[in-house]
Amino acid sequence: MPAPRDAHELALRARELVGRTLGEIAAALGTSLDDDPRRTKGKQGELLERALGATPDDLAWSVPGDEGRRHDFPSLRVELKSIPLDARGRPKESTYVCRLSLRETETLVWETSWVREKLANVLWVAFDATPEDWWDRRIVHAFLWAPTADQEATLRADFDEVVGLFARGRAEAVTAHLGTALQVRPKARDGSVRTTFIGPEGETLATIPRGFYLRPSFTATLLPAR
Amino acid sequence: MPAPRDAHELALRARELVGRTLGEIAAALGTSLDDDPRRTKGKQGELLERALGATPDDLAWSVPGDEGRRHDFPSLRVELKSIPLDARGRPKESTYVCRLSLRETETLVWETSWVREKLANVLWVAFDATPEDWWDRRIVHAFLWAPTADQEATLRADFDEVVGLFARGRAEAVTAHLGTALQVRPKARDGSVRTTFIGPEGETLATIPRGFYLRPSFTATLLPAR
DNA sequence: CAGGATCCAATTGTGGATCCGG
DNA sequence: CCGGATCCACAATTGGATCCTG
């Protein structure tokens, strides 16, 4: 599937997926996923990326740090996010946005942050996660979104609160309780992993890797009204 | 304690209770409550009624049905409601308003309903329910309230939804899930008690006794901001 | 019974931990 | 390691049941 040429073509292509199951979409691509639900954690999102012509993450290994960052659709500056919905049509889970980098100070200012850039333009693809088997899960919404002024103010306030705590060396005070829309949670396959950052006094501090996530209560407000 | 002469005097008297414990208030009245928490379910509210000079419910037995209805402060048309607060200062429980009467049709129209009349003017007295012993519980707020136009519209919509279901004979569809502010829940010391009402076809139907309650999420919005 | 409400088992929500592929 | 996310034990919420007094 070639990359879409513009946002309009991308939105059209995404809307064609509405009503189809992930199994139908996989068959059309000539691929298949494992049938063990424990082995499909990130596979459904990756399937949608391929179905829509997103850029494969082939630089993930090549450059440690932040340099490898890119959008799913780089020329459109659009990010693709899939959302699983429960029986009532509401998001079942929070949505991962990106890593919380503690190495580069420019990423700790909202205007130049990677989280702001990631959320500036998002193609949301929501599917019904009620069926146990991934191939029976059906796309129910697909739409482009850019934050309104109010939404961006909320996101920025949440971001500033967390970053302010890190800047004052209070990493231990940053929990998933903070933030009305955007929260920070651990992001590592093993809670014992550590990353380092430079504290307010220039000292080196260690903390567990973390990521930014959108709360389900926030993403619920983005979905079309029932 | 004589009844207050006007709303101003009532509010003044209520504000004097703020900061005092229920034990101090009981001592000033020369009374005491049982020390078994299971035997104080309604006693704390009754203690506050006496402390503020509310009308005793001495007609409760005399007239079955709706005729005995009155406010706690009849001349002021003011109702007294106590609210237990948790450690964060938020309501721990829903607030009982009144019985849902199914016998008199005029009470099933919002404008002439007893629930509207009960909520038209309320003296809220909120106390910290953190201490185990009732006598250590301290009054933290005491204020008069009348619904704003928005609040009354919300209450009315909730009321109309429930009453509409009864009017169509769908009593079994009325659960505590309904209503954003005002909800209906069972109100009897035994779930096997039944009351009767006249259905849409003139038939006699039986259902369990129920009452109107305000959700904690609604009463929380009435409290002074922390 | 009606009015004063609280109790508590069951459901819902969610913060922190974890899984897979490249 | 990083991006794709989901899992799940425990905390928070709450709907229905219940308690006491006059």
Q: Determine how β-strand A79-85 pairs with β-strand A122-128.
A: parallel
User: CA A84 → C1' C17, Å?
Assistant: 20
Across chain B, mean pLDDT equals 85
Closest protein CA to C1' of nucleotide C12, residue: A92
Give, in Å, how far the C1' of D18 lies from the CA of B143: 30
B81 touches strand C (CB under 7 A): yes
Buried b (16+ CB within 10 A) or exposed e, A144-176: ebebeeebeebbbebbeebbebbeeeebeebee
Global pTM exceeds 0.95: no
Q: Between these two residues, B7 and A147, which has the higher pLDDT value?
A: A147
What is the percent of chain A with per-residue pLDDT over 70, rounded to a whole number? Answer: 85
Residues 160-189 of B with CB under 7 A from strand C: 185, 187-189
- Measured to protein CB atoms, the chain C nucleotides within 7 Å are 1-7, 14-22
B40-93 tens-digit pLDDT: 656 788 889 888 888 765 443 344 444 557 888 888 999 999 999 999 999 999
Looking up tokens 């509409």 gives B164
Of the ranges A19-33, B55-69, B163-177, which one carries the lowest mean pLDDT score? B55-69
Q: Is the pLDDT of residue B36 over 60?
A: no
What pLDDT sits at residue A69?
73
Q: Are the C-beta atoms of B137 and B127 separated by less than 8 Å?
A: yes
User: Does at least one atom of strand C sit less than 7 Å from the CB of B226?
Assistant: no
The domains located in chain A, with CATH, are 7-222 (3.40.600.10)
The predicted-structure confidence for A68-113, as pLDDT tens digits, reads as follows: 578 888 889 999 999 999 999 999 999 999 998 877 666 789 999 9
Q: Which nucleotide is nearest to B40 (CA to C1')?
A: D20
**Separation of A124 CA and C7 C1' (Å):** 44
User: Does the CB of A216 sit below 7 A from strand D?
Assistant: no
Q: Which nucleotide's C1' sits nearest to the alpha carbon of B58?
A: D22
Confidence band, pLDDT 50/70/90 cuts, at residue A55: confident
CB contact set of A136 (below 8 Å; sequence gap of 6+): A21, A22, A23
Instruction: Check residue B52 and give left, alpha or beta (phi > 0: left; psi -120 to 50: alpha).
Output: alpha
How confident is the model at residue B32, as a pLDDT? Answer: 60
> In this predicted structure, what is the pLDDT of residue B41?
57
- At residue B134 the predicted structure's pLDDT band, cuts being 50, 70 and 90, is confident
Average pLDDT over residues A118-137: 93
Distance B90 CA to D13 C1' (A): 13
Q: How much is the pLDDT for B42?
A: 61
- Give the orientation angle of helix B7-15 with respect to helix B43-52, to 10 degrees: 120
Q: What is the pLDDT of residue B63?
A: 41
Q: Which nucleotide does the CA of A59 lie closest to, via C1'?
A: C22
Residues 158-177 of chain B within 7 A of strand D, judged by CB, are 175-177
Region A61-73: mean pLDDT is: 60
